[in-house]
Every structure is written in structure tokens, then in C-alpha cells.
Chain A
Amino acid sequence: MTKVVKQTLRLMLISLGMFAFGFALVPLYDVFCDITGLNGKVDLQQSEQTVLVDVDREVTVQLITVANASMPWRFEALQHQVSFHPGEDVKAVFRVQNLTDMKMVGQAIPSVSPAEGARYLHKIQCFCFERQTLEANEVRDMVVFFTVDPELPESIHKLSLSYTLFDMTPVDAVSSR
């Protein structure tokens, strides 16, 4: 019977291992997204500046804003799109306004389309690296500096950079409203 018990325990360990593997898939998935640009996910970390500029071609980056459903903030890009040479540093400004009369916290989540181009768009500095806390009715201009890698495939001429704003105000603050 010891053989049976041993096998049983081994199988239970395997199933526990698979349970853990399910959780391990979370970071693995992020790595997978980084490599493939799946979902237009771009890392929330700062990238190094590139030096080379490819003056022979131009790319356009469209700036898109979405305030997730229950986020009572006004959120817009000051220009709809920017055109520049790959490798150049670009600055884009987003204006955000808290429409309520209470302090709120927001987090902007970036996404790039097409997915194939996502990993060539590098953010040098971005308001999305951290949460934004806005006092009641406060207006703020938020800045992103980014560049597009000259390695960007020739077939891509236009990228869309979208920011979705999520309400991250701590729950107790909401209930006191």
C-alpha cells in the first residue's frame, strides 16, 4: 500500500503545483505581453532615451483618452495627434479635471495599438507611472515624454496611444461622500 500512498501524495503535490502554476502564469503573462506587445500593454517603467533619429520617415501617434465609467473626471489630450521622426523625443500634454467636490485618486492605464508596434513606443516620463491625486475641482496638466524606436517596422505609420483613467480613490473616502 505504501506505493499507492506515495503515488497519491505525489499526485496531490502535482495538483498543488498546478494551483501555484496558475498564479505563476500571472507574471509569465506579463513577460509574454512585453515580448509580443499583446493587448498593447506597455510597461509602466521608465525607459532609456534612444540617440538615433530616423529622419527619413515620419510616424503619427494618436492620443486617445477614456475615463472609465464611474470616473467623474474630465480627461482630454490637448492635441489629438503628433507626427515626428522615429527616435525623436515628443511631449504630449493631457488635461485632467476633478469634477467633484472631494479629493480623488486616479490611475491612467496606457495601451498601444497596433499590438505589433507596442514594444517600440517608449515612455521616458509619464504621468501614468504613478497615481494622480486631485483635490476637489482641481485642474491639472499632465505630461508624457515618449519616443518611438527607429526599429519600428516599416509597415507601421500610425500608432494609437490610449489612456484609460480608473478611479482608485480609497473605498472609505468614497463612502464618506
Chain B
Amino acid sequence: MTAAVSAHHAPVRGIRRWLYTTNHKDIGTMYLVFSLAMFFIGGSMALVIRSELFEPGLQMVEPEFFNQMTTMHGLIMVFGAVMPAFVGLANWMIPLMIGAPDMALPRLNNFSFWVLPFAFTMMLSTLLMDGGGPNFGWTFYAPLSTTYAPPSVTYFIFSIHMAGISSILGAINIIVTIMNMRAPGMTYMKMPLFVWTWLITAFLLVAVMPVLAGTVTMMLTDIHFGTSFFSAGGGGDPLLFQHLFWFFGHPEVYIMILPAFGIISQIVPTFSRKPLFGYASMVYATASIALLSFTVWAHHMFLVGLPLAAELFFMYATMLISVPTGVKVFNWVATMFKGSISFETPMLFSIAFIVLFTIGGFSGLMLAIAPADFQYHDTYFVVAHFHYVLVPGAIFSIFAAVYYWLPKWTGHMYSELLGKCHFWCSFIGVNLTFFPMHFVGLAGMPRRVPDYSLQFADFNMISSIGAALFGLSQLIFLVTVVRCVLVGRAAPDSPWEGAQGLEWTVASPAPYHTFSKPPLVE
């Protein structure tokens, strides 16, 4: 490897390294740092929401600003934190995992990243504009987001366009890299699962992000150019918006969870010291989840007055998705069965992922039952459900991935003590925050309200305390990562006893250029 490094020039110093870089590791790092910044911004908004909901009555913020907070929190977390984090992990790890020297389209890679800071600066700047930022929820249903929107909605639309372009180009890059840059001998069915799940995710992105772009374009022309796609008066239909949005939105949900499945499928075998159980069925399950995700969008719309036949179709299709998802959970459990398990921080986060994601899966199955959804819909039960799959789901998997690969990235071992401390605080915080939401939701508390009636008070207070705990524990994460970058025990090339895969064959920290000569896979 050292020969390969000296063959290339070292990175330039200073800001130009980051502005002009085409190196997958640099770009991966920038994605991850960007995502962490967004995670803290979006998280602060969540804390504003939770402090307003700490007790009944209006204390902290006006309802108008509260709505801007819920909207921005959702948008930032989905498009700014979770998605870029997975793209960052893909950038760092996919070339290392398939034995490629870099991404297939390095300059495009630089462009995809640098669009993002502009997109989100624009989106955040709407908060300071006349009339305030977007206040119509991250799902921005028309006509609340068109006829009744604040003037800043135009900037919101453009920032969604930019974030969308970034995602599409990033996804294209990933697909092309995986299809063309694999080391000799690495057939598709030998690829690590993280690579597989990302390949499928990237196809989902290419398929649905343009639909979202089209949808916001229709909003734009409705607002400024007199069309009426979503206004009934001009012959349009507000429900069309919901169909288009969820045609994008449901696959989007899987875009945020499939790479997480990939990560867990890397980590659980490592710390169980045993190959992944049912590799092939994992691949097929991922592909069938992706395909099914195109047929279930209207389960977000059970209450809009769909005809009975449509309700039944979408109910059955949604229930069906739990089968491949179940297969994945069973496979992970079977991987641990008769293994030799140790509990480093990445494994702890992975085990918590399996348990808490499954709980989110159960509430998802309950929500799939259309008649019951008439009671659950748009209540805190739904909020509990999607936070269970996104926070201890997607975000825990990102934490697990970061701890798992940090030694490779930095050349240092992170502090196991701090890592475990971060895990336990987050684990308790997450459950304290989101579990009581099931109760208030079932008891009748609607979502997106700045104030609530008295019977919901106790559980909301618990949720708010949990949120503060969860939010503050992320500072431990920050400290752990920064410390690991700066100091720490030197990490060997393969710091985990049971780890398999090409990424562990290169030095730690990974040299600036790796696999200039492709490795041979048996």
C-alpha cells in the first residue's frame, strides 16, 4: 500500500483541499461533518418543540413559530442529516469495500456535495424572512403550502430542488461505481451487504427524487404562474399532491432505512464472529422491500376518502412489506445464535437497532390495518412509530457505523468508555422520549399541536425530559469523535477480531489513495 501512496501527490493544504477535492474519503468526511452539523441544528429545533410541549399552555413560542419548527425539524433531519450521513458513509466505504481506488465520477462527487451547504443555507434562511419559514409540515400538503403559504415558500422549493439534484447525482455516482469498479473476482453475490443495500437505495433515489422535484415544480407554477395542479378551483386536486408526494415519500422512507439494514448486516456478524446468516435472502428481502415500496404510498392517505377497493389494496400491500422486513430481523437473530458475541459500542448500537426498529415495525404493522388507522392516523402514535424507525433505526445505525469504522478513518481507537456512555444515555433518552408518545397518541393527542389538553400532560413531560437527555448525550458523541480524531490508541489495520472485508486490508488510517492496484478477491 505504501508504494501506492507515494505514487500519488499528497492532498493540498488548507481550504482548497476541501473545495476542490475529488477524493472519495475527503468528500465522505465532508458529508459526515455536514450531516452532523445538520443533526445538531435539527436537534435543537426538536428541543424547542419539546420544551414548548413540556407542559400544557403556551410558554416558549407562538403557534406560528412552533409550526415552522416542526416543519424545519423534519426537513433538516430527513434531507440534511440522515440522507447525507448515508451518502457520506457510502463515499467513504463503498470504494474500500469493493476494492476501488475512488468513486467512478469524482468531480461529479465534489459537485453533489457542494450543492448541499447552499441548499440548506437557503432553507434555513427562510426562518429570517418576512412571514417566517415554511410552516406547513415536512409533508407540505397543498393548499396549505401553496395558496396559504408564507412568501418564503419559493426559497423552500428551490432548496428542495437543490437537495434533490445532490441526491440524484450522488445516487448515480454510487450505482456507476458499484457496477464498474468492483475488484476482479467480486461478483454481485460476493458484495458486502452495505454495498448491496446502497445499490438498491440508489436506484430508489433515481426513481423517486425526480418525482419530488416534479411535485415541487408544480407547486412553484401553481404559486407563481397561475396553473392549478393542486387547486380544485382551476380543475386541479389537492389530493393529487398527496399522491405525488407519497409516491416519492414512501420509497423515501426505505431510502432512509435500507442502508441502515446494510450497516447492521456488517456489524452483527463481526461481533458475533460468525458469517451473516442468509446472505442471499437478505439481498432478496432488500430488493422486494424496495419494489413493494412503490405500491403502498396511499397508506398515508387512508383518511382522504379513497374508495373501499383502494383502501383494501393498500392495506394488504402494506401488511405484506412486514414479511421481508421480518426475514431480515430473523436473519440477524440467527446470526447471533451460536456465535461468540462481544459488546463493543457498534454492537450495542446494532442490538438496540434490532430491538427498537422492530418495535417501530410492530407499530407500523398496526398502522397498516386500515380500520385501526382511522384511530391512529395523525396522532402521536404515528409520531412514535416513525421516530422509532428513524432515531433508534436510521440514526443508531449511523452511530454504529461511525464507531465501527472510526479506527479505519482516523487511525485511532475511540474511547470505549465514552462510546458506551454515549450509547446508554442515548438508549435511555430515546425510549424515554418516544415510548410515551405511543400512549398519548392512543389516548387521542393529535400531532403537530403546540398545546394539548390536560390528560396528556404527564407523558409529555416525560417525553420532554427524555428529549433533553437524548439531545445532551449527543455532546458525548461529539467529544468522543473529536477525541478519536486527535488522540487515542493507534488502531491496527483490522481492529475488530471478527471483521471480514477488503476495508480491513488497508492501513489505518486509510491512506489518501487506496487500491490503486485492484486487490484480487478469491
Consider the complex of A and B and state whether they touch directly, i.e. have CB atoms less than 8 Å apart. yes
Q: Are B210 and A19 in touch, CB under 8 angstroms?
A: yes
Please tell me which stretch of A46-54, A87-95, A144-152, A161-169 contacts chain B, meaning at least 4 of its Cβ atoms lie within 8 angstroms of it. Answer: A161-169
**Chain B contacts of A166 at CB under 8 A?**
231-234
Q: Are A109 and B176 in touch, CB under 8 angstroms?
A: no
Q: Are B175 and A11 in touch, CB under 8 angstroms?
A: yes
Nearest A residue to B308 via CB reads A116
Q: Are A8 and B243 in touch, CB under 8 angstroms?
A: no
Please tell me which stretch of A34-42, A77-85, A96-104, A133-141 contacts chain B, meaning at least 4 of its Cβ atoms lie within 8 angstroms of it. Answer: A34-42
Bound complex: CA of A37 vs CA of B233, how far in Å? Answer: 19
Q: Are A109 and B232 in touch, CB under 8 angstroms?
A: yes
Best-surrounded residue of B105, B108, B307 (most CB of chain A within 10 A): B307
Q: Are B105 and A8 in touch, CB under 8 angstroms?
A: yes
Q: Are A22 and B210 in touch, CB under 8 angstroms?
A: yes
Indicate which residue in B206, B208, B233 contacts A11 across the interface (CB closer than 8 Å).
Answer: B206
**Chain A contacts of B108 at CB under 8 A?**
8
Indicate which residue in B104, B210, B211, B240 contacts A29 across the interface (CB closer than 8 Å).
Answer: B240
Q: Are B309 and A25 in touch, CB under 8 angstroms?
A: no
Tell me, yes or no, whether A55 is within 8 Å of chain B by CB.
Answer: no
Bound complex: CA of A46 vs CA of B13, how far in Å? Answer: 72
Tell me, yes or no, whether B209 is within 8 Å of chain A by CB.
Answer: yes
Tell me, yes or no, whether B179 is within 8 Å of chain A by CB.
Answer: yes
**Chain B contacts of A168 at CB under 8 A?**
233-234
Bound complex: CA of A166 vs CA of B105, how far in Å? Answer: 51
* Interface of B (DSSP majority class): helix
Given the contacts A4-B105, A39-B305, A44-B235, A15 and B172 also touching, CB distance less than 8 Å: yes
Q: Are A22 and B215 in touch, CB under 8 angstroms?
A: yes
Which residues of chain A (1-24) have a CB below 8 Å from chain B? 3-4, 7-8, 11-12, 14-23
Best-surrounded residue of A18, A29, A33, A38 (most CB of chain B within 10 A): A18
Q: Are B244 and A22 in touch, CB under 8 angstroms?
A: yes
- B152-174 CB mask vs A (1 if < 8 Å, else 0) is 00000000000000001000100
**Chain B contacts of A19 at CB under 8 A?**
210-211, 213-214
Given the contacts A7-B179, A15-B172, A18-B206, A36 and B237 also touching, CB distance less than 8 Å: no
Tell me, yes or no, whether A26 is within 8 Å of chain B by CB.
Answer: yes
Tell me, yes or no, whether B5 is within 8 Å of chain A by CB.
Answer: no
- B179-213 CB mask vs A (1 if < 8 Å, else 0) is 11000000000000000000000000011111111
Q: Are B172 and A21 in touch, CB under 8 angstroms?
A: no
**Chain B contacts of A167 at CB under 8 A?**
233
The minimal Cβ–Cβ distance linking B203 to chain A, given in whole angstroms, is: 9
Total interface residues on A, using CB and 8 Å? 37
Which residues of chain B (299-329) have a CB below 8 Å from chain A? 304-310
Q: Are B209 and A15 in touch, CB under 8 angstroms?
A: yes
Bound complex: CA of A111 vs CA of B452, how far in Å? Answer: 34
The minimal Cβ–Cβ distance linking B335 to chain A, given in whole angstroms, is: 33
Q: Are B206 and A38 in touch, CB under 8 angstroms?
A: no
- A116-159 CB mask vs B (1 if < 8 Å, else 0) is 10000000000000000000000000000000000000000000
Q: Are B308 and A29 in touch, CB under 8 angstroms?
A: no
Tell me, yes or no, whether B122 is within 8 Å of chain A by CB.
Answer: no
**Chain B contacts of A113 at CB under 8 A?**
305
**Chain A contacts of B39 at CB under 8 A?**
none
Q: Are B240 and A36 in touch, CB under 8 angstroms?
A: no
Q: Are A41 and B176 in touch, CB under 8 angstroms?
A: no
Bound complex: CA of A37 vs CA of B309, how far in Å? Answer: 11
Tell me, yes or no, whether A107 is within 8 Å of chain B by CB.
Answer: yes
Q: Are A26 and B240 in touch, CB under 8 angstroms?
A: yes
Nearest B residue to A107 via CB reads B233
Nearest B residue to A41 via CB reads B237
Best-surrounded residue of A26, A164, A167 (most CB of chain B within 10 A): A26
Given the contacts A11-B175, A15-B168, A109-B233, A21 and B307 also touching, CB distance less than 8 Å: no
Nearest A residue to B247 via CB reads A25
Bound complex: CA of A43 vs CA of B310, how far in Å? Answer: 20
Tell me, yes or no, whether B472 is within 8 Å of chain A by CB.
Answer: no
Q: Are A107 and B234 in touch, CB under 8 angstroms?
A: yes
Nearest A residue to B181 via CB reads A4
Q: Are A25 and B172 in touch, CB under 8 angstroms?
A: no
Nearest A residue to B209 via CB reads A15
Bound complex: CA of A44 vs CA of B234, how far in Å? Answer: 12
Bound complex: CA of A29 vs CA of B243, how far in Å? Answer: 9
**Chain B contacts of A59 at CB under 8 A?**
none
Q: Are A36 and B247 in touch, CB under 8 angstroms?
A: no
Q: Are B180 and A7 in touch, CB under 8 angstroms?
A: yes
Tell me, yes or no, whether B366 is within 8 Å of chain A by CB.
Answer: no
The minimal Cβ–Cβ distance linking A130 to chain B, given in whole angstroms, is: 12
Bound complex: CA of A168 vs CA of B234, how far in Å? Answer: 8
The minimal Cβ–Cβ distance linking A165 to chain B, given in whole angstroms, is: 9
The minimal Cβ–Cβ distance linking B473 to chain A, given in whole angstroms, is: 39
- B244-259 CB mask vs A (1 if < 8 Å, else 0) is 1001000000000000
Bound complex: CA of A17 vs CA of B306, how far in Å? Answer: 28
Nearest A residue to B168 via CB reads A15
Indicate which residue in A12, A41, A68, A115 contacts B172 across the interface (CB closer than 8 Å).
Answer: A12
**Chain B contacts of A22 at CB under 8 A?**
210-215, 218, 244
Indicate which residue in B175, B218, B243, B307 contacts A7 across the interface (CB closer than 8 Å).
Answer: B175
Tell me, yes or no, whether B229 is within 8 Å of chain A by CB.
Answer: yes
**Chain A contacts of B305 at CB under 8 A?**
39-40, 113, 115
Q: Are A25 and B244 in touch, CB under 8 angstroms?
A: yes
Given the contacts A4-B105, A4-B180, A36-B310, A29 and B172 also touching, CB distance less than 8 Å: no
Bound complex: CA of A21 vs CA of B310, how far in Å? Answer: 22
Bound complex: CA of A18 vs CA of B208, how far in Å? Answer: 7
- List 18 contacting pairs A-B, 8 Å CB cutoff, sorted by A: A3-B180, A7-B175, A7-B180, A8-B176, A15-B209, A19-B210, A25-B240, A25-B243, A29-B240, A33-B237, A37-B307, A39-B239, A39-B305, A113-B305, A115-B307, A164-B232, A167-B233, A168-B234
Interface residues of B (CB under 8 A from A): 104-105, 108, 168, 172, 175-176, 179-180, 206-215, 218, 229, 231-235, 237, 239-240, 243-244, 247, 304-310
Report, nearest first, the 10 A-B pairs whose CB atoms are least far apart.
A22-B214, A166-B233, A18-B210, A19-B210, A22-B211, A11-B172, A115-B307, A15-B210, A109-B232, A36-B307
A-B contact sample (14 more), CB < 8 A, given A18-B211, A18-B214: A7-B175, A8-B172, A8-B176, A12-B172, A14-B206, A15-B168, A15-B209, A17-B210, A18-B206, A18-B208, A22-B210, A25-B244, A33-B237, A39-B239
